[in-house]
Amino acid sequence: MKTGIGVLVAVLLAGCAAQPTDDGGSSMAGVADSESRQRAGAFTDLAGAYFSRAQYKIALDELRKAIVADSKYGPAYNIYGLIYMELAEDKLAEENFRRALELDRNDSEARTNFGWFLCTRGRYDEGLEQFSIALRNPLYARPEQAMANAGLCAERKGDLALAEVNLLKSLKLVPDNSNTVLKLAGLYFRQGRLDEAQRLLTRHTELAPPTAQSLWLGLRLERKLGDRAQEAAYGLQLRKRFPESNEARLLQSGQYE
């Protein structure tokens, strides 16, 4: 989320400063509606910021304020859906994603998030359809996100060819997205295309600091390629940088596949 506490304060102050006009009741109602929508947006932005820090209870509190301000503000329901998805409250997550889309069928952010929710619950075809609809919106600001998610969804489904197509489309739009580069490297590793996976993993190191996922992929890749020294170097970094990660636990137990 892009906004925060400063924006909330500015919006609330603007609302307090609004003065009556001589345009009649309909004009005043329009001003009130606009101010309510602004307050709902500010609370929702705060909720998104708290969500990104996994502070779900505080995020939910902010969303309740948003809905009180404007019960038809769709983006609030999108964040509700994301929170309930993380909390494994699947029924509530789906209800809120659907509510967001009822209020604005062109909300491609909500549609992409809903698609990912469906994919993570094994409803692959439904999820892929949501991504497809999102991408038909010419005003969608981040189509690369829907493409990348469609790629990961297709990989989960087992359609590796479709996964590659979507990840490549995403990278064509944003070549320096380190997460997508890493996902494509992982896909190539799964397909046994080790040289291509290594090339992309090298590219990832140029774009971003190492993650537990990138180090684990590098370790397994070098193990397949037979470079024991490089495999050991990846393992050392993984244990040192991310000792509590799931990847470090897999290394400790020798579960390489």
* CATH number for the domain that contains residue 77: 1.25.40.10
Within-domain flag for 194: no
Q: What is the dihedral of CA 229, 232, 236, 239, to 10 degrees?
A: 170
Task: Give the domain-ending residue among 114, 142, 175.
Answer: 175
- Residue 13: the pLDDT is 25
CA gap 78, 110 in Å, rounded: 5
Within-domain flag for 126: yes
Domain extent for 58: 1-9+33-104
Task: Give the domain-ending residue among 57, 87, 104.
Answer: 104
For CA atoms 19, 23, 25, 28, give the dihedral sign.
negative
Phi, psi of 70 (to 5 degrees): -155, 100
Q: Which of 24, 29, 73, 82 is nearest to 53 (CA)?
A: 82
- Say whether both 98 and 116 belong to one domain: no
Within-domain flag for 74: yes
- Say whether both 89 and 49 belong to one domain: yes
Within-domain flag for 5: yes
- Say whether both 168 and 116 belong to one domain: yes
- Say whether both 112 and 97 belong to one domain: no
CA gap 59, 76 in Å, rounded: 10
Within-domain flag for 223: no
Task: Give the domain-ending residue among 175, 199, 214.
Answer: 175
- Say whether both 73 and 119 belong to one domain: no
CA gap 224, 104 in Å, rounded: 48
- Say whether both 95 and 113 belong to one domain: no
- Say whether both 71 and 3 belong to one domain: yes
Within-domain flag for 217: no
Within-domain flag for 138: yes
- Residue 6: the pLDDT is 26
Within-domain flag for 14: no
- Say whether both 49 and 99 belong to one domain: yes
The residue ranges of the chain whose pLDDT is under 70 are 1-32
Question: What's the pTM value of the predicted model, to 2 decimals?
Answer: 0.82
- Say whether both 126 and 98 belong to one domain: no
Number of domains in the chain: 2
- Say whether both 2 and 93 belong to one domain: yes
- Residue 7: the pLDDT is 26
CA gap 212, 194 in Å, rounded: 19
- Residue 186: the pLDDT is 97
- Say whether both 57 and 156 belong to one domain: no
- Residue 32: the pLDDT is 59
- Say whether both 1 and 72 belong to one domain: yes
